[in-house]
Amino acid sequence: MVAERLEEAAATMKRLPPVGPRKLQSQWPTIIRDYWESYGYDRARVHLGPPSALAIQRMDESLEWLKVLEKRSAQLIWSRAERLPWKLIMRMLGVSRATAWRYWMAALTEIAQKLNQSSKHPIETNR
């Protein structure tokens, strides 16, 4: 459940609107293309829209969980929550896939133990 909540937090963070100044944009009007010019010109993008207030609240709560970990473990957990491939994580940590997975499971277990100590409802790590 911890891994699922962190994956949900990463997905929620991606759906948040951008903060800060907008990118520079051209003042030229957009070019209206004919059908045969525009079909397949750009990849179709699906926008899910902004996340709900409850999703943002759960994201904030989940991000607080990372504070109980060391910096390296928190980076590993967040990389997996963002679905970074194991190969890149292996390169980042300089370890094998099995060792990276063990570090990941140990960090998830540590978060779950801290949460179980502070709440009445136990949380399991089911990965």
pLDDT tens for each residue of 2-55: 999 999 999 999 999 877 776 676 777 777 667 666 666 667 677 788 899 999
Is 31 inside any structural domain? Answer: no
Confidence of residue 104 (pLDDT cuts 50, 70, 90): very high
CB count, 10 Å around CB of 79? 19
pLDDT tens sequence across 47-87:
788 899 999 999 999 999 999 999 999 999 999 999 999 99
The answer to whether residue 33 is domain-embedded is no
Q: In this predicted structure, what is the pLDDT of residue 17?
A: 83
Tell me whether residue 42 is in a domain.
no
Q: Please give the residue range of the domain that contains residue 70.
A: 1-15+50-127
Q: What is the pLDDT of residue 120?
A: 57
Cβ contact 6:83 at 8 Å: no
Q: How many domains does the chain have?
A: 1
Does residue 79 lie in a domain region?
yes
The answer to whether residues 125 and 1 touch, using CB atoms and an 8 Å cutoff, is yes
**Torsion from C-alpha of 114, 119, 121, 125, nearest 10 degrees:** -10
Mean pLDDT, the chain, as a whole number?
85
Is there a contact between 125 and 94 (Cβ–Cβ < 8 Å)? no
From residue 6, give the alpha-carbon distance in Å to each of 13, 43, 62, 68. 10, 28, 6, 14
Whether 39 maps to a domain, the answer reads no
Tokens 């990118």 appear where? Answer: 23
